[in-house]
Amino acid sequence: MPHDHSDHDHPHGLLPPDPALRVRALETILTEKGLIDPAALDEIIDVYENRIGPRNGAAVVARAWTDPAFRAALLEDADPVLAGLGYYGRQGEHMVVVENTEAVHNMVVCTLCSCYPWPLLGIPPGWYKSDAYRARAVREPRKVLAEFGVTLPEGCAVRVWDSTAEIRYLVLPRRPDGTSGMDADALAARVTRDCMIGCGLAVSP
């Protein structure tokens, strides 16, 4: 049986303890070594700060609300549908879309780390990565929802999806009442990041 030595091997302690200095020290060494291009780091940050984020997911949700064939295809097999829209990439290679209804409310967590559908929602928010959310979402999802101001109607079951593999989940929230005349852009503006994780509801007019 192979033995795992990693418990006894933590060279990170050789770096400065302050995290900002730690990151800078590592970047400096790696740059000098020719292993990192600082401009590539700027580019990665720009992608996730400015180009990939919850607007992508909101556009998908709004289209699903207005286009029944699109919605059916999305729920049946999301990958080809999303790839066709250009929403593919790191941490979104295998997507499943789950639909909230009157009877079922879906909610997504990663109890073991912080798995999240990056191409559709961007980088996860701090609370999604927090110990409190990771620990509690599976045991007491209704209490967690209450902390987001969400109370479910009587008789609505909760389904919590723990992202333990490379499948990433997007919640298709319920379309708010009073939005029947709205076009896809106006609808997308009502779709928050939190409601696509299942910790919110789409915003009513």
Partner 1 sequence: MTRAHDMGGRFGDGPVVPEPQDVMFHADWHPRALALTLACGSLGLWNIDVSRHARECLAPMDYARFAYYEKWIAALADLLVRTGALSADELASGRADGGSDLASKRLEAGAVAGVLAKGGPADRPGTVTPRFAPGDVVRLRKMPENMMVNGGHTRLPAYAAGAPGRILRLHGTHVLPDSNAHRLGEAAEPLYAVVLRAGDIWAHPEHPGDEVILDLWDSYLELP
15 near partner 1 (CB under 8 A): yes
Q: How far is the CB of 180 from partner 1 (least distance, A)?
A: 25
20 near partner 1 (CB under 8 A): yes
102 near partner 1 (CB under 8 A): no
d(CA 17, CA 21) in angstroms, rounded, equals 8
103 near partner 1 (CB under 8 A): no
Give which of 118, 113, 187, 193 is closest to 148, Cα–Cα: 193
d(CA 95, CA 168) in angstroms, rounded, equals 5
Identity of the residue, 65 or 133, whose beta carbon is nearer to partner 1 in the bound complex: 133
189 near partner 1 (CB under 8 A): no
Give the number of other CB atoms < 10 A from CB of residue 9: 8
Query: Restricting to residues 72-101, which ones interact with partner 1 according to CB under 8 A?
Result: 88-94, 96
9 near partner 1 (CB under 8 A): yes
Give which of 113, 112, 119 is closest to 93, Cα–Cα: 119
Catalytic residue among 6, 113, 180, 195: 113
| Residue 195 appears among annotated catalytic residues | no
